[in-house]
């Protein structure tokens, strides 16, 4: 404890505390923030578990740089490319913001894949974190779709033809493909409406979806906690206990059915209480 904690409080601190108490009294925000931020994390938590936050930080950066770009970008087939040139060559720091947005998109995709790889290799998708994985999978899909829709906005030859190929591949999928193709193109042909459609999906639909699913993902992470590393002794012990219980249940089923109780050469399973702590 420092003298700051026991000395008289200044008017600014007093007012601040009164405002926080007022809001907390009505919204419970302090309890919520404590639930979200102050939790125990497993022993052995390492840099590997920072990849999810890195993906989230990159999304934040994409949102900020995207807002700046949207102030100058014109989603019209006659002016789109010219507005991109204007941002790059004439807007103060425009080249930097555009570069950050472009490289940030690639970085986000790479980091999301690394994060997913880490989760997969650690087996962190297993019970009880299935829904954390499912919300993550939706985030992966939306992150990739963000890349596709953003690519067209430059409206140069490369962007145009690359998107034509991607949409044609999508449209060739059975049953739903042609409908999805029409939705993406905003009709049967590529044209001005396609650009507006991609712009709206890129600017509004997907960022809204990603923000919503990050919220859900974080809710599950906070509620279920992050998993222990695969080399954690406690985790190995729990997994061994579960395996023992499964085998015991299988033998009981077999003995009830009047068949062999213990397969030859297999050690007798210790009772749960005998398993080393």
226 binds ligand HEM (CB under 6 A): yes
Q: What's the min distance (Å) between Cβ of 24 and ligand HEM?
A: 25
Query: In the stretch 121-150, what mask flags binding to ligand HEM with x, by CB under 6 A?
Result: ---xx---x--xx--xx-xx--x-------
217 binds ligand HEM (CB under 6 A): yes
Q: What's the min distance (Å) between Cβ of 57 and ligand HEM?
A: 8
CA separation for the pair 277, 269 (Å, rounded): 16
Query: In the stretch 81-120, what mask flags binding to ligand HEM with x, by CB under 6 A?
Result: -------------------------------x--xx--x-
CA 241 remoteness from chain centre: 32
Per-residue 3-state assignment (H helix, E strand, C coil) for 92-105: CCHHHHHHHHHHHH
**53, 59 in Cβ contact below 8 A?**
no
Based on CB atoms, which residue is closest to ligand HEM, 80 or 112?
112
Residues with Cβ within 8 Å of residue 146, at least 6 apart in sequence:
62, 105, 202, 206, 207, 210
CA separation for the pair 250, 247 (Å, rounded): 5
Based on CB atoms, which residue is closest to ligand HEM, 52 or 75?
52
**137, 150 in Cβ contact below 8 A?**
no
47 secondary structure, DSSP code = G
The residue within the footprint of ligand HEM, chosen from 22, 35, 36, 53 (CB under 6 A), is 53
Q: Which residues bind ligand HEM (CB under 6 A)?
A: 49, 51-53, 55-56, 59, 112, 115-116, 119, 124-125, 129, 132-133, 136-137, 139-140, 143, 214, 217, 221, 226-227
């Amino acid at each position: 404890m420092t003298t700051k904690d026991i000395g008289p409080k200044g008017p600014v601190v007093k007012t601040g505390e009164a405002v926080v108490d007022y809001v907390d009294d009505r919204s419970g925000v302090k309890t919520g923030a404590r639930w979200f931020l102050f939790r125990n994390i497993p022993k052995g938590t390492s840099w590997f578990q920072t990849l999810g936050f890195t993906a989230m930080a990159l999304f934040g950066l994409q949102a900020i740089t995207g807002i700046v770009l949207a102030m100058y970008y014109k989603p019209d087939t006659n002016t789109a490319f010219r507005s991109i040139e204007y941002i790059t060559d004439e807007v103060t720091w425009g080249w930097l913001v555009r570069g950050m947005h472009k490289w940030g998109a690639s970085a986000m995709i790479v980091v999301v894949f690394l994060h997913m790889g880490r989760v997969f290799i650690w087996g962190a998708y297993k019970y009880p974190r299935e829904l954390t994985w499912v919300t993550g999978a939706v985030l992966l899909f939306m992150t990739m779709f963000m890349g596709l829709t953003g690519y067209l906005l430059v409206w140069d030859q490369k962007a145009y033809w690359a998107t034509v190929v991607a949409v044609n591949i999508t449209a060739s999928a059975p049953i739903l493909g042609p409908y999805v193709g029409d939705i993406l193109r905003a009709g049967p042909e590529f044209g001005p409406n396609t650009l507006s459609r991609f712009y709206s999906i890129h600017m509004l639909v997907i960022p809204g979806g990603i923000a919503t699913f990050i919220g859900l993902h974080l809710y599950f992470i906070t509620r279920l906690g992050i998993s222990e590393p695969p080399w954690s002794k406690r985790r190995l012990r729990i997994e061994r206990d579960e395996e023992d219980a499964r085998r015991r249940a299988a033998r009981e089923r077999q003995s009830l059915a009047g068949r062999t109780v213990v397969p030859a050469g297999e050690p007798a399973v210790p009772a749960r209480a005998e398993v080393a702590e």
